[in-house]
Amino acid sequence: MVARGRQRVCGCLFVAVTVSMAGYNQPGGKRQKVREVRPGDNVDYFQGIDKIEYNNMSSPSDVSSYRFYNSTERVHSRAMEDWLKFSVSLTEFRNNGSDNHRPPHTHPWNDGSKTLENYKRCIRALFEFCQKLGVKYWTALDSDLLHCEWWDDPKQWDDIVEYVQELSQRYHVKLLWLAPDLHSHARYAYGAFTSNEAFTFAQAAAQIKKCLEISQRLNAECFLLWPCREGYDNTFQTDVSREIKLFAKLLKLTAEYKDRLNYRCQLLIMPYYNCQLKKYAHNFGWQPHGWREGEVLNRYMWDVTSCLYLLKNFNLDRYYKVCSPPGHHMCMAMVYNMLGGVRLSNAIDHYDSKSFTLMMKGIIDQGTAPPSGICLNLRGRRSGDARDLLTLHVKYIDAAAKGLRFAASIIAEQTFSKHLQQRYITYHSGFGSRLVSSDVTMEECEDFCKKTQNQTSEPSRSEHMDLFFQRYLDTSDRI
């Protein structure tokens, strides 16, 4: 009996020792990872705010639902969320509405410090924000993830990457594109791609390299470059030809390194669009050179045309596609099959149903959404809170969804396509078809001109179609 009791005690001691030893690394064994409690994990930054759902019967006073955006509804043979590939900008989400004259407002997730904990709180709050909106993608600059002082610290990057991967699995929100911040740091005051200092160029290249590696680890679908400080003030102190060649050189190095990483993503480039500057200049009579951002007057990529020419001239158009705002720039990018994404900012009027409809018609005509979809670069009001920021995104998402519904209806009825076909009918047969499909000499043009010199042009009916389009948009019962 005593022996049996000793055996039981020894057995208990053996189990206790075994359990206690399990907490230590065993030779040849794998230590079980215990999930660390992250900063802000137990904080509800949007307390009292429900997820935004589709309700087309909601009252006008109900701003907590979508009237037009229904992610799973099929429009023109695709789900809405496929046409409207929305993403939320972490850059604008972190922004507190600050400027040079007044202090910013604060959000509960951002205390304004440069600590790692604060960066994590902002990222975690963004994921919760996307979940509330029903948006599946987000975008960021590398400086939104980590303070520049820790930029070359692998341990800090590993910590952030691990944290983002954990949040992505939890919230099912994916990184759409990451971009290196090549404009905020003082070293880039005179450009990054086109700096007159070789060490600044090398610093920009190293930052792009690191950002590409982080982007690959986070499985981002695209990689964006925004050369907003590349340009010059005066030709007497600038070797413009040299700078443009340096610009193209770094773009090529980026594409080549992406291929060496075997990283399958779409490279994007975003020309410098200062829509807000043009808006204020028009309204208040200011001259563009009198109120401009930064020190650069003549930018190498002011618009889509200059961007496309640079890419084409240096044979880089096979690597990059262009991000643009709605309107003419987007139209030109689509004409050359170079549209990489659409950028919606506060400068775009969400009341302008015509612009949103034409934007979505262009996307439908392409057959699919561009690689980076529609980026919501929306900055909240200084006086707004978290709910106000959410409502801001709701109204732009709904405006784009309304435009999609109008565009699909217009395409289905074929009224405007028939008008367009009729307007260019002279190119469908005879001499006009030869102009399009084969070579025609100047002499043949002269002969045809003599034969048709008494022929008059058909009226364009531009005013008729413009009013018809506007009244089409006014009748919301069509969608």
Condensed to tens digits (0 to 9), the pLDDT of residues 158-209 reads 999 999 999 999 999 999 999 999 998 899 988 999 999 999 999 999 999 9
Please report the pLDDT score of residue 454 as a whole number.
81
Tokens matching residue 142: 């590398």
Q: Is residue 27 part of a domain?
A: no
Q: Which of 93-102, 253-262, 433-442 has the lowest mean pLDDT?
A: 93-102
Indicate whether 423 belongs to any domain: yes
Token pair belonging to 346: 């506060």
Alpha helices in 192-274 (DSSP H): 198-217, 240-260
* Listed residues 393, 413, 433: the one ending a domain: 413
Residue 129, class by beta-carbon neighbours within 10 Å (0-12 exposed, 13-18 middle, 19+ buried)? Answer: buried
317: domain CATH number is 3.20.20.150
pTM to 2 decimals? Answer: 0.85
- Tell whether 259 and 358 lie within a shared domain: yes
**How many Cα atoms sit within 13 Å of 161 on the Cβ side?**
19
User: What are the phi and psi torsion angles at 24 (to 5°)?
Assistant: -105, 155
Q: pLDDT grade, residue 8 (50/70/90)? A: very low
pLDDT of 80 reads 97
Structural domain contains residue 242: yes
Number of domains forming the structure of the chain: 2
Helix axes 116-133, 386-413, angle to 10 degrees: 40
| pLDDT for the residue numbered 274 | 56
Q: Are residues 302 and 442 in the same domain?
A: no
Q: In the prediction, which pLDDT does 273 show?
A: 63
The string of pLDDT tens digits covering residues 139-172 is: 999 999 998 777 778 899 999 999 999 999 999 9
**Calculated CA dihedral for residues 197, 198, 199, 201, nearest 10 degrees:** 90
Domain boundary among 398, 413, 428: 413
CA distances from 406 to 16, 46, 156, 328 (A): 70, 33, 47, 20
Rounded to the nearest 5°, which phi and psi values hold at 267?
Answer: -80, 135
Q: What angle do CA 202, 207, 212 make, to 5 degrees?
A: 125
Confidence class of residue 389 from pLDDT cuts 50, 70 and 90? very high
Q: What percent of the chain has pLDDT over 90?
A: 59
Q: Specify which residues 324 forms β-bridges with.
A: 342
Whole domain around residue 443: which residue ranges?
416-478
The yes-or-no verdict on residue 122 having pLDDT over 80 is yes
